[in-house]
Amino acid sequence: MRKNSIKNTRINAEVQKTLANLIRGEIKDPRIAPMTCVTDVEVAPDLKTCKVYISVLGDDDTRHQTMEGLKSAEGYMRHQLAESLNLRNTPALTFIEDTSTQYGMEMSRKIDEVMAPIHARNQDLQEEEE
């Protein structure tokens, strides 16, 4: 099975949906932040390993605690994955922190800072014309 095959794409989507539901509703670890999102999943073509990309909104301590909580719940989540999906092998889960959301928010904030004086100047010019 190729990495980009239709079958692998469907498996990735199902694993992502199942893990997101587990994190949101079934795991009761207080270390896991409520704003935790499964952004992407990459299941290896041989179904032995799975990279789970996790995005967490919060400070560095919150992200670190959430990643620790997810790593400790890995066995439970793998078991639940095996029960809900009928796969030949249940992949071993590896959680990877996805910082793209944080990066995007930071870039948006910087753009807003740069554009604020321009917007203020445009408003002043419009008020002068009136």
DSSP codes, 96-107: EE--HHHHHHHH
Strand 49-56 and strand 92-97: the pairing is parallel
Residue 80 near residue 35, CB atoms below 8 Å: no
Q: Is the pLDDT of residue 68 over 90?
A: yes
- Average pLDDT of 82-91? 88
Chain segment 24-42, per-residue pLDDT in tens: 988 888 999 888 999 999 9
Length of the chain: 130
Query: Which residues touch 53 (CB under 8 Å, ≥6 apart)?
Result: 38, 39, 40, 41, 42, 96, 97, 98
When pLDDT is cut at 50, 70 and 90, the band that residue 59 belongs to is confident
The verdict on pTM exceeding 0.85 is no
